[in-house]
Amino acid sequence: MLVNNEQILEALWETVYMTGVSFAFSLLIGFPLGILLVVTRRGHLLQNEAIFKVLNVIINIFRSVPFIILMVAIIPLTRLIVGTSIGTSAAIVPLVFYAGPYIARLIENSLLEVDKGVIEAAQAMGASPGQIIFRFLIPEALSSLVLALTIAIVGLIGASAMAGAIGGGGLGDLAITYGYQRFDTLVMVLTVAILVVLVQGVQSLGNILSKRVRRS
Amino acid sequence: MIQFEGVTKTYQSGKQEIHALNGIDLTVETGEIFGVIGFSGAGKSSLIRTVNLLERPTTGRVKIHGKDISTFTSKEIRTTRKDIGMIFQHFNLLNSKTVFHNVAMPLILAKTPKNKIKDQVKNLLDFVGLADQAEKYPDQLSGGQKQRIGIARALATNPSVLLCDEATSALDPQTTQSILDLLRKINREYSITILLITHEMGVIREICDKVAVLEAGKVIEQGTVFDVFTNPQQPTTQRFVRSVMNDELPETLLQQIQNAGSDHSIYRIQFTGTSVGRPLISQISREFNLDLNVLFGNITELQGTPYGNLIVEFIGDRPEIDRALSAIRKSDATVEEVTNYAS
């Protein structure tokens, strides 16, 4: 094997770091956007056709650019934000641009599942739009939101592996530079195995958490 | 008091305009239970939603306690809504929250202190008979129990008006009865004005003081439950009344009468109040020397007044029959000839 345990551990850490930080930022951007996508649509709490249409188009544009191209396309912006276009921190910028809109869509879907009758009941008891969002919509959708965000994290783990292509580091980088380019099958198998375990772990955790918050 | 003045509601569906309400004029007096009945699509649910502005009238006004709510700001609307409780056909409870939390919700929204919420929710759950279910979740309860929670929640802010949107339509007959009993108790004990919509005439008969019949977005008939049930004018109203006050003669009986000969005098006698207790039939029979054959008979209670409905075949000499009929008319019963047997 061309790599030692330390390199693997470091790569694992880089993957976790990239995924974690980019998830946090994506959530920060995607959550409010997801809520806006729901409440500004026709017939909803804060109906606003202009906001809804603009958001809808922008999110679709980001969602239709393949990650590998997105990564290259926004290099100038990445440089502007983190000062460099290479390395783990640099990989986080395109990851956020990739996962933010994705999370917005996931949140939108979860919130749309909430029974319209519950919103009507909330309005009937004199709740303000803010109260309806935070005391009715989000708690009722929480279980489904947790599952949706689990999907987003798994997606980010996959995307972060691709970030290896711009020297982002992480398990994907290891697999490509050693497993693929230097024909070290063992490294390839090992990194894939670690990724599988990682994804399994995240999904199981998500399932447990989702069940737990179903009733709060 | 709730007043509808020329209320219309038009929905835009593509290029088509749908007129859900076509000029509604109605007055619901304080403290009464007012029922609006209609087939589906008649505009009932649009109508009830204009009261708390879940639907805004296209034209016309809805006044609550004399104030036109359509001129209110969003904040004033929210304040007004706290004075108008609402319960729903599908309960619309938060499945992620306990029974306690569901009932407490309106109080939490109003920023009531925690210890006060606790006392109030306990009283409300006591009132609806679910004191021991506070820590359960809605999906662990039956339909009737869920509606009781809906009622407790609607009462939490001490409203003066309660709107019931098909509140018993998803419940079985027995549960319906117990929910209606509870609604009547609320109306009497808290003197809350109740406006309910339903497609079940049984609900109207059971608890309403007044009724309006809605068809194609218009009120086609309205009045006290007693008047509408004993003397329905419009065909739709007659259909609704017949759905709970069946007075059709059985087919075989009709045939027997028709086979017996052409000269049969069949009359419907309706009597109310004190006259229900009189042995009218046997008195008439003896006094005028007639044979009276009761084909159909039924006594029900409407708004606490007994109401009898008889279909009787008079057998005897024509002059005697005529004299008997005028004697019945002189008492407080009404008589009309039944020409169309299948009513």
Contacts of B90 in chain A (CB under 8 A): 115, 117
Residue B340's pLDDT band (cuts 50, 70, 90): low
Instruction: State the pTM of this model.
Output: 0.89
ipTM of the complex: 0.88
pLDDT above 50 for B121: yes
Q: What is the pLDDT of residue A175?
A: 86
Residue B343's pLDDT band (cuts 50, 70, 90): very low
Q: Which residues, including other chains, have CB under 8 Å from residue A194's CB and lie 6 or more apart?
A: A8, A12, A171
Of A125, A143, A215, the CB nearest to B105: A125
Q: What is the pLDDT of residue B263?
A: 63
pLDDT digits (tens, 9 = 90+) for B146-161: 999 999 999 999 999 9
Residue B342's pLDDT band (cuts 50, 70, 90): very low
Substitution target from B94, B100, B107, B139 for chain A, most A beta carbons within 10 A: B94
Of A128, A131, A139, the CB nearest to B96: A139
pLDDT digits (tens, 9 = 90+) for B236-271: 999 999 888 877 777 787 777 777 765 668 888 888
Any A CB within 8 A of B94 CB: yes
pLDDT above 80 for B31: yes
Q: What is the pLDDT of residue A86?
A: 85
CA distance A123 to chain B (A): 7
pLDDT digits (tens, 9 = 90+) for B175-227: 999 999 999 999 999 999 999 999 999 999 999 999 999 999 999 999 999 99
CA distance B230 to chain A (A): 36
Q: What is the pLDDT of residue A4?
A: 87
The 3-class secondary structure across chain A, one letter per residue, is CCCCHHHHHHHHHHHHHHHHHHHHHHHHHHHHHHHHHHHCCCCCCCCCHHHHHHHHHHHHHHHHCCHHHHHHHCHHHHHHHHCCCCCHHHHHHHHHHHHHHHHHHHHHHHHHCCCHHHHHHHHHCCCCHHHHHHHHHHHHHHHHHHHHHHHHHHHHHHHHHHHHHHCCCCHHHHHHHHHHCCCCHHHHHHHHHHHHHHHHHHHHHHHHHHHHHCCC
pLDDT digits (tens, 9 = 90+) for B44-98: 999 999 999 999 999 999 999 999 998 999 999 999 999 999 999 999 999 999 9
CB A112 within 8 A of CB A148: no
Q: Which residues of A touch B (CB under 8 A)?
A: 115, 117-118, 120-121, 123-128, 131, 135-136, 139-140, 142-143, 213-216
CA distance B200 to chain A (A): 22
pLDDT digits (tens, 9 = 90+) for A45-63: 999 999 999 999 999 999 9
Q: What is the pLDDT of residue B185?
A: 96
Q: A5-39 and A88-112 are packed helices; what angle lies between their axes, rounded to 10 degrees?
A: 40
